[in-house]
Structures are given as structure tokens and as C-alpha cells.
Structure 1
Amino acid sequence: MEFRWQHTGEPVSMKRFLTKHGISMRLIKAIKHGEGEFRLDGIPQFGEITVENGDYAGIWLPAEGADPEVAVSSVPITVLYEDDHWLVVNKPAGLTSVPGPTNREDTLVNRVKGYLMAQQAENQKPHLITRLDRDTSGLVLVAKHRVAQSMTTWEPVAKTLRKTYLAWVDGQLTPAQGTITAAIGRVGTSPRREVTPAGQDATTKYWVEQTFATATQVKLELVTGRTHQIRVHLSHLGHPLLGDQLYAGPTTLIQRQALHAATLQFHDPFTDQDLQWQAPLPEDLEQLINQLK
């Protein structure tokens, strides 16, 4: 893979030129250590490199082979979008995002790896940009190569990455919209997080979409991205997610947390276009709404 851009202006160092175009210092260091090449007008360069006005400068990286440490799962995935750089997947509830101590064989990463291998993709190592809890359904953005992964941390792109969630909470949430600002941290060894002054700053915006007799449908947007953030913040308000056993949510109508990553949008640095997607509600959440009505 080669990525290059034309420089206009005063001479600059290759490092400065690349960071200006969204290549992370981590990736630049990897190339310096032999994992790729710096190029000027398609010719490999070494040592101190200066990019002159009119030069086409960039990087070349070998294709990423499949990680032998990651198992392959042939279970199908639901792909909502795919191009040379990105994969957008609709993750079902009950599926862990990444391999861990209790599951290394069939997570979203294992399934995406199986999908890429079956497609004989040039790069077969998926990079999850967004992650969801095991029992949260909805959109997950996957970078198909290291440069795309690097671009998502680049400020002009990172600022445009926006995710909204739909949640169904116990009781009638008021006011109709608001911002929850409360630090979140771990207390003891439990997987449960809590609002605690010693935790990390966390901010969640919400908008009430529909009120039922015993529950409320809410749209939410994360300003920060802490573990279990939505679940902790809503529980802290006294309105835990329906089905969320870890945070004392009622389980009469649904057996998993009623949380869905509904929309995703960002500015694609490769095409200079705004991309956006919406994930349909899974059957269990449709049934939940019908029961609440």
C-alpha cells in the first residue's frame, strides 16, 4: 500500500509533512524501524528527509497478514458498508468485541478476520476503531489497514467522529434533555463501575425520545468514552437500563441491557466526504418497544 500527497509551500521535514496528513508518530516510528518505507515521488528515502514544494511524499507499507495468534471464526457478520479503507458492521447483542481470557475463539474480531480471509483481502488484520459491550448491539467501525487506523486519531477526523445510542431506561427520565457530567471509576475488583470523585472525567448528553408508563426511550451521545459510561451514568440518575443486571436494571421485559449503537458518522480523510450509517433495531428491541406500548 502506498499513500502519498503533494506538498505546496516551504520545505518541511518528512515527519512534519506526514503528521500534517494524519500519519501518527507511532506509525512513523514503525516505518523507521523497518516496517515500511518513506517515499518521495515513489522512490524510497532514508535518513533525514526534506519534502520540497511540488514533491509527492508519503509512505509505503506491506500488506498486513492475518495475526496467527487470533483464531478464525467463520460465523457470518452483517456488513453495512465497505470500501478499501473501512468496514462498518452491525454487531449483535451477546457477541464480545475483542478476544479476552474467557473467549478467544468467537468474538467480533475473530469473525471479521474470517470475513477478510474469505474475501482474500489485501490486509487481513482488522483494527476495531469503536467497541461495544458484549450485550450492546449496533454499529462498529473497523479500519482495514494501519493507515486508516492512524487517521482516526488525527484531530480533523477525530473531531468529526460521532456516535449516538438508543437506550430504554427504567422510569420516566426528566428533564427531557440534559448533560450528565460525573467521573467514573472502578471500585474494588468488580467489573461494575461507579460514579466516584477518584474516577476519570465522563460526560454524556441525552435526549428523551419517547415516554412510556414505566420506561423512557432515550437518545444519547458520548462526549468521553469510559467503560460502561452510559450504563453507569443512567444508573447514577436512578434510571438504569432495562435488562442491565449488573446495574440493577429490571429484567422482566428483556434479558440484556437495552442499549443500541444506532448511528455513526465521520469525515472520511481518504475521499474528503462525510460518511454516516444507521443500524436497524434488532428484533428483541422491537419487541421491547411493542411491550412498552
Structure 2
Amino acid sequence: MDTRFTLRFIAEKEGQILREALQEWRISKRALTAIKFDGGLLTVNKVECNVRHILHIGDQVEVKFPPEEKSEGLAVEYGNLSIVYEDDAILVLNKPAYQSTIPSREHPSNSIANLVCGHFQQQGLASTAHIVTRLDRDTSGLLCIAKHAHIHHLTGLAQRSGEISRQYEAIVHGHVGQDKQSIIMPIGRKDTSIIEREVREDGQFAHTDVTVLQRFNFNNMPMTHIRLKLHTGRTHQIRVHMAYLGHPLIGDELYGGSREQLNRQALHCVSLAMLHPLTGESLHFTSALNEDMQRLIRDSLA
């Protein structure tokens, strides 16, 4: 059985060169090179051809991408994945806290990527894990994975054009003053750390919208439950922007938060909206706030 990822198109322009049609169908030059040299296939009306082929209206074009190989060091593992949505193109998961999205030196196994490779292998897919929306290890909630490099290419284009929208909820120290505000401050790596980021003039543009949901006190400690919308996806963006405001996330020791109430940063991706990379269908996924964050809010009202 041929497990190669395959797309089919109908030619709509008389006399168009196949290469031009493939560009209009958003097949990247990199993908075309892989198709040519790594075991892919281009056919028109079921006959193999090259990119110089002249198309006629109604021609049936089939693009078979070469089988993918997972990265070295990415072990195939099997385990539970909380699947919110899945089709031939994308996989949307609800990631628990304390699980890495990709393996690292400190946490080489049981990452989302490891388990996704096992999931794909069980499905007979010649593919590897392509992370579209990554979450920090301690952050919980929705994340999206592309099931093929071409889909990853399409979702990357969508992210750069602002067509993928993510919203988060967090609990931060102190009572945030403004009910709604936008934080537009550049973020870059801190000179004294390979991990920590900070607001700095020479950093990358970063934009976060903040909405207050509830101000409360827990054991006489002021806290605020907030919703955040990301317009950019910089590393640690929410954590850095809220710390810059003087309201670090509960549990976020790296940026000035306390772990007295929660043993991780209190951050959860509650909403993910996007257009399907192949069909253009509008997709919207939601995830209830993680239980540990719900409990912190609930206990403050007791």
C-alpha cells in the first residue's frame, strides 16, 4: 500500500506550465526538489510527467510527496494523547502540564512529538511530527500538529499572515489595573541567559492583548485571572510581557512568580482558531481551564 501523502488538483488554465500551477497551489520549491530526488511523483491524468508539462483545462494532477523520515534522536514512543480533532492534514491535542512538546536534554522521552510519531506509525503514516503551535513544558492546553511537511508549510504561511489565532488564560500576581490593554513591546534573549527573555529595544516585535476576567485574593494575596490573545508568537511572550507589567504569572519562578500556590506557571491555551490548510474551512477549538488553575480560583471564593 502506497502511504505517501498525496494531493489532487484539477487544472483550470489552458496551456499553463505545471510548475506555475504547482506554485499557485502553494507547493514550495523545497517540496518540488524533494519530490524529484527523494521518491515523490508528479502525474497528469495518471501519467508520470515533469514540471515542464503543459496543462489543459480539466487535467487531473496528482502530487505524491516522498515518505518522510523522523529527525535523529526523536524516538517513536506510544502513550496517551488527548486528541481534540484529527483528519488527514492536522492533529489538535490538549496538552497536559509537565509534558514537553519536543524532547530535550533534560526530558528526552515522553514528549508530545515522541508520542505523535508513535500515533502516526500505528496509522501507517510515512510522516513525522511537525509542531505548528508549540507550548512550554509547564503550559497546558491546545496545540496543533501538521501531519506532513507540506501542511506545515501551509500553516506556517497562515501564521505569518495572522490566520491562526490563539487565546490563553493565566493567573497572575497582583490586581491588574486596566480591564483591557495591549502590550506591544519587543522581546529578545537576555544577555546573561540562554533561556530567559526580556523586553528590550533590539528585540523582535511582540504584541499581546490582555483582558481582565476576575480580580481576587487568595490567602490575602492579590491575584488576577486574565485572558490573553497572541498576535505574535515569541518565546515566553506572555510570561515576559506580564512580568514587564509587574504582574508575573503565578508559579513562574523564571520571571518573578511564586510557586507557593502552584508548581508551574498558571497558563493554559483555551482557544485555537484557524482555516483548514487544505479546505479553507473555519475551525475553532476550545479547552476548559486546567483543573489546578480552576481549583486556585475556586478556593479563593471559599
Structure 2 length-normalised TM: 0.89
The CA distance in 2 between the partners of 1:239 and 1:109, in whole Å, is 32
The CA distance in 1 between the partners of 2:27 and 2:108, in whole Å, is 31
Secondary structure of the equivalent of 1:12? coil
1:43 aligns with 2:47: yes
Secondary structure of the equivalent of 1:153? helix
Secondary structure of the equivalent of 1:212? strand
Displacement, 1:272?
3.3
Q: Which residue of 2 aligns with 1:181?
A: 184
Checking the alignment, whether the CA contact within 8 Å between 1:180 and 1:205 is kept in structure 2 is yes
Q: Which residue of 2 aligns with 1:5?
A: 9
The CA distance in 1 between the partners of 2:70 and 2:198, in whole Å, is 38
Specify which of 82, 106, 109 is matched with residue 110 of structure 2.
Answer: 106
Q: Which residue of 1 aligns with 2:163?
A: 160
Long gaps (5+) in structure 2? none
Displacement, 1:254?
0.8
Q: Which moved more, 1:150-159 or 1:12-21?
A: 150-159
Specify which of 141, 147, 152 is matched with residue 150 of structure 2.
Answer: 147
Matched residue type, 1:175: Q
Secondary structure of the equivalent of 1:240? coil
Moved over 6 A (4+): none
Secondary structure of the equivalent of 2:232? coil
Long gaps (5+) in structure 1? none
Specify whether residues 122 and 175 from structure 1 end up closer, same or farther in structure 2 by C-alpha distance, changes over 3 A only: same
Q: Which residue of 1 aligns with 2:141?
A: 138
1:236 aligns with 2:240: no
Q: Which moved more, 1:1-10 or 1:218-227?
A: 1-10
1:122 aligns with 2:125: yes
1:196 aligns with 2:194: no
Specify which of 86, 91, 98 is matched with residue 94 of structure 1.
Answer: 98
The CA distance in 2 between the partners of 1:67 and 1:224, in whole Å, is 27
Q: Which moved more, 1:35-44 or 1:260-269?
A: 35-44
Q: Which residue of 2 aligns with 1:32?
A: 36
Matched residue type, 1:178: Q
The CA distance in 1 between the partners of 2:33 and 2:69, in whole Å, is 20
The CA distance in 2 between the partners of 1:154 and 1:42, in whole Å, is 30
Displacement, 1:144?
1.4
Q: Which residue of 1 aligns with 2:232?
A: 224
Q: Which residue of 2 aligns with 1:76?
A: 80
Structure 1 length-normalised TM: 0.91
Checking the alignment, whether the CA contact within 8 Å between 1:127 and 1:145 is kept in structure 2 is yes
Displacement, 1:229?
0.5
Checking the alignment, whether the CA contact within 8 Å between 2:79 and 2:115 is kept in structure 1 is yes
Displacement, 1:55?
2.2
Q: Which residue of 2 aligns with 1:250?
A: 258
1:52 aligns with 2:60: no
Matched residue type, 1:211: R
Q: Which residue of 1 aligns with 2:287?
A: 279
Displacement, 1:259?
0.4
The CA distance in 2 between the partners of 1:52 and 1:31, in whole Å, is 22
The CA distance in 1 between the partners of 2:164 and 2:60, in whole Å, is 28
Checking the alignment, whether the CA contact within 8 Å between 2:35 and 2:66 is kept in structure 1 is no
The CA distance in 2 between the partners of 1:255 and 1:181, in whole Å, is 29
Secondary structure of the equivalent of 2:296? helix
Aligned pairs, number: 292
Matched residue type, 2:257: G
Checking the alignment, whether the CA contact within 8 Å between 1:27 and 1:150 is kept in structure 2 is no
The CA distance in 2 between the partners of 1:55 and 1:159, in whole Å, is 33
Specify whether residues 275 and 95 from structure 1 end up closer, same or farther in structure 2 by C-alpha distance, changes over 3 A only: same
Coordinate RMSD, CA, aligned: 2.1
Secondary structure of the equivalent of 1:57? strand
Checking the alignment, whether the CA contact within 8 Å between 1:152 and 1:158 is kept in structure 2 is no
Displacement, 1:58?
4.1
Checking the alignment, whether the CA contact within 8 Å between 1:12 and 1:51 is kept in structure 2 is yes
Matched residue type, 2:211: W
Checking the alignment, whether the CA contact within 8 Å between 1:125 and 1:144 is kept in structure 2 is yes
